[in-house]
Amino acid sequence: MPVIKLETIVNTNRINVVFDLIRSIDLHKVSTKKSKEKAIAGKTAGLISLGETVTWKAKHLGITQKLTSKITDFKRPIFFADEMQKGAFKSFRHEHYLDLKDNKVIIKDIFQYQSPLGFLGKIADFLFLERYMKNFLLERNKVIKEYAESNKWKQITSTH
């Protein structure tokens, strides 16, 4: 099972703002423009919380897909996890850890997933899928950082 670990340093001490940006459905849409992600069921706007689900429709690797994830763990403002309920993967769990250190917010992502199709899925992981998922998460974190370090975060968090 591939595990992707990322660390993003955000130059702000507003840990609550960063936490809300990470769980914002609206910012997720902004950060995933390339795959044209749309929230089509469950929580479709605002801030997702414990026990809530969202179903995304998006185009990844040239294929339009639907994926439903649920917030399964939640400790504001230091941790939450979402897990796939339905979708293209056999399973996934994405853990988001936040820490305030030296007036900066440190985001640690741990994304573990299982590809479908057994051995063929493992080949896909090796050839392209793990790299694709890592780049997807890096792009998303770049947008979260950009919004958190500027006043753009107010456009997202003040409406909900």
Q: Where are the domains positioned within the chain?
A: 3-157
Per-position pLDDT tens, the chain of length 160: 899 999 999 999 999 999 999 999 999 999 998 888 999 999 999 999 999 999 999 988 888 999 999 999 999 999 999 999 999 899 999 999 999 999 999 999 999 999 887 788 788 788 898 999 999 999 999 999 999 999 899 888 764 4
The pTM score is 0.92
Q: Which CATH superfamily is domain 3-157 in?
A: START domain (3.30.530.20)
Which residues fall within 8 angstroms of residue 78, CB to CB, at 6 or more apart? 15, 19, 97, 98, 99
